[in-house]
Amino acid sequence: MKAKIIAITALASVSLSLNAQKLNFTPDLVLGHRSYTYMHNVNYYFNDRLKLNNLTLFDTEYTKDKENIFFIRNTLAYSFTKRFSVNAAFGIKNPGAFFSAYVQYRIAKPTYSLSYSIGTTYQKGFSLEQSVSFEYTPYLKENLQGYFSVLAIGNLDDNGYPRGLQFIRLGVKQDKIMYGVASNFDQFNNAKKTLENVGAFVKYNF
């Protein structure tokens, strides 16, 4: 219940402060067979090179709170070029606070984008963190595009694979709204514990 209140509060506060010239906001909601997931990305642009990003995710089961997942990360990014940036982040995720520093390479085209990042995260010890994000939006007809996206994040440390996730979306895009089918996969403690959630999603670019 607490996660639901936090998610609604975060959505409301961001919506009230939205400034189209400097800030964009992208909420993503999944209604799955196991749980519902709320995720958003907020980007605030100080200038062409400096950006502040907030990524917030809550995944909560419908009837009980035993498997709740939370992830809140605030990142300051400085772009040396259109494709290369350095990032410093802090936040909180299962099981607690963390700090990250990483570099990112990103390609953005009208119908697709691809980014790869690598760096270190400290949360009760250091780990190597890598992430890949890919989005493809081919035109199907006028005012209608296909939509396919993959986000994969993995951590490696001296003990193996402490945390990983993969989010997949497949559907259509009409102007600023996207909807279709979604699947979320999470791994914990060398995949000794795994969670899956498959259902429908809706996403909007403000």
pLDDT tens-digit map of 33-46: 999 999 999 999 99
The first and second tokens of residue 128, run together, are 């190597």
Whether the per-residue pLDDT at 154 is higher than 60: the answer is yes
Task: For the chain, give every domain's residue range.
Answer: 21-204
Q: Is the dihedral of CA 155, 167, 100, 120 positive or negative?
A: positive
pTM for the structure as a whole: 0.84
The first and second tokens of residue 101, run together, are 């520093």
- Percent of the chain clearing pLDDT 90 (strictly above): 77
DSSP structural state of residue 5: H
Whether the per-residue pLDDT at 30 is higher than 60: the answer is yes
pLDDT of residue 21: 56
Tens digit of pLDDT for each residue in 186-199?
999 999 999 999 99
Distance CA(157)–CA(153), nearest Å, equals 14
Whether the per-residue pLDDT at 19 is higher than 60: the answer is no
Tens digit of pLDDT for each residue in 90-124?
999 887 899 999 999 999 999 999 999 999 999 88
Cβ-contact 42, 27 below 8 angstroms: no
Cβ-contact 67, 58 below 8 angstroms: no
Tell me how far CA of residue 132 lies from CA of 118, 151, 182, in angstroms.
Answer: 9, 6, 17
pLDDT of residue 95: 78
Nearest to 102 by CA among 84, 88, 92: 88
Nearest to 197 by CA among 80, 69, 97, 77: 69
Whether the per-residue pLDDT at 16 is higher than 50: the answer is no
The first and second tokens of residue 135, run together, are 């989005």
Whether the per-residue pLDDT at 8 is higher than 60: the answer is no
Whether the per-residue pLDDT at 157 is higher than 60: the answer is yes
pLDDT of residue 153: 95
Spatial CB neighbours of 12, under 8 Å, sequence gap ≥ 6: none
Domain 21-204 has CATH 2.40.160.40: yes
